[in-house]
Structure 1
């Protein structure tokens, strides 16, 4: 379906387009394909084994399109599937391929945003239950205290296009109140789901002005720039004709295109794929 050796960007739905946009801005010359597993979204409340299965199927499909490198622009997949893919799947089946996530790049820099050393993390139930962020952040900033809050209704609101309507404010306020009740000294809040930047203005409106709200797009993109500089053996395998292709496991591609264009901030046209047909 694609030509060359593009960088693959994967998400359970359309949220990863916020990261993809930032990656393209910082690395505009490469070829890219984006795959959203909208047909099986949301991932947030699914088990580790199911998320691994779905993510690995999508990653394998992207490998078959020629991708030497795949970015999991999905916090839930990064939290629940990345380690197994990197440590068990790739060495056996695709030792010359690379799969990266969004958690470690964020953990490496998040401590630079806080003065109180108290950080809030908003994510899906799966991301929060995995404790991936407290564990990773402790490696780089052991002095930080991390408070987490699951926001299980935010992704469905966003995927259904209801996020910009007045009714969404109730659920934004609900989860922010639950987070801030854990500590009034939180001064930095990480949006640990790539869907959440579409709610960022509502989130900021319900918080004191001194609290920083951090999205991941630019952080992950900067980390990828650094990764390719440090790994020329991967960078040299990537094609660079500037092509962009979008795929979804949702058979209603018009619906995907309409919502996805809001995330990508540009009109796009997608193609439907069934990743299960190409994976064993």
Structure 2
């Protein structure tokens, strides 16, 4: 199996598989390696320093597998670690490698979905606290008002498969209500966590029709297509054998069961050990 020039995709757990699914649909010809750091998930409430250290370790592991390009399919890692990796690590240790995130490509287009110029962002505490979306959206759409809402219980509910039950509805309504109460002009809600697309059917039923609900999978996939077209030197390095490998720092049986829900297909993972 030729894995020497795969695209690496990283997430703290399962959520990045929703992004991977969209990428694989748009670019099925390439080889991919997915790494979920499930043994240390969730990252949402961890410090900037811890998220940076964990993310860098996982990125370097993917580099070690031969990946010249790594996608941080995780909003928390993108918010807390991406810039430092790009500016402080890559130029000195890995000048021929690239690491991309999910926040900037989302910020580049989110304004196209709002007529009122008022959008809501729902994410983990870490993503919200970083204010990354406020900063990035302002670069592309300075006229847009961005309101944030942290949803600390959504990821645990999803990863324990409790989101499908009625008991989870209280917390969906709670955080949605808190966000919408901040401004009734909100007409677009960005789900700024890659786990949250699994909640879309329930969220859509709770929202007025005028409010657009935006996930990140297709946005990031389209951005990657564009990136490779603009960087043929990277595109030419990537193997095209349509191979996918999945790795987790957690229990493989648990990962495989949950991953199939996020990815929409059966997954067979391998275990790797990471530093505690």
Fold in common (TM above 0.5): yes
Alpha-carbon distance, 1:163 to partner: 1.3
Q: Distance in 1 between matches of 2:135 and 2:102?
A: 14
Alpha-carbon distance, 1:2 to partner: 6.5
Q: Which residue in the other structure is 1:244 paired with?
A: 244
Structure 2 spans left out of the alignment, 5+ residues = none
1:257 is aligned to 2:260? no
Q: Distance in 2 between matches of 1:117 and 1:14?
A: 32
Q: Distance in 1 between matches of 2:16 and 2:198?
A: 11
Aligned-partner SS, 1:275 = coil
Q: Distance in 2 between matches of 1:184 and 1:2?
A: 53
Deviations 1:77-118 (A, max 9, x none): 000000000000111211110000000000000000000000
Q: Give the superposed CA RMSD.
A: 1.1
Alpha-carbon distance, 1:276 to partner: 3.2
Q: Distance in 1 between matches of 2:4 and 2:51?
A: 28
Deviations 1:50-101 (A, max 9, x none): 0000000000000000000000000000000000000001112111100000
Q: TM-score, normalised by structure 1?
A: 0.97
1:227 is aligned to 2:221? no
Following superposition of structure 1 onto structure 2, how do residues 170-209 of structure 1 map, counting pairs within 5 Å?
170-209=170-209
Q: Is the 8 A contact 1:125 1:152 kept in 2?
A: yes
1:21 is aligned to 2:31? no
Aligned-partner SS, 2:208 = coil
Alpha-carbon distance, 1:205 to partner: 1.4
Q: Which residue in the other structure is 1:98 paired with?
A: 98
Q: Distance in 1 between matches of 2:26 and 2:206?
A: 31
Q: Which residue in the other structure is 1:267 paired with?
A: 266
Q: Which residue in the other structure is 2:89 paired with?
A: 89
Aligned-partner SS, 2:255 = helix
Structure 1 spans left out of the alignment, 5+ residues = none
Following superposition of structure 1 onto structure 2, how do residues 112-127 of structure 1 map, counting pairs within 5 Å?
112-127=112-127
Q: Which residue in the other structure is 1:42 paired with?
A: 42
Q: Which residue in the other structure is 1:58 paired with?
A: 58
Aligned-partner SS, 2:275 = helix
Q: Is the 8 A contact 1:2 1:65 kept in 2?
A: no
Q: Distance in 2 between matches of 1:259 and 1:162?
A: 12
Following superposition of structure 1 onto structure 2, how do residues 61-76 of structure 1 map, counting pairs within 5 Å?
61-76=61-76
Q: Distance in 2 between matches of 1:224 and 1:160?
A: 30
Q: Which residue in the other structure is 2:33 paired with?
A: 33
Deviations 1:179-199 (A, max 9, x none): 001001100000000000001
Alpha-carbon spacing, 1:216–1:40, altered in 2? closer, same or farther (3 Å): same
Q: Is the 8 A contact 1:61 1:275 kept in 2?
A: no
Q: TM-score, normalised by structure 2?
A: 0.98
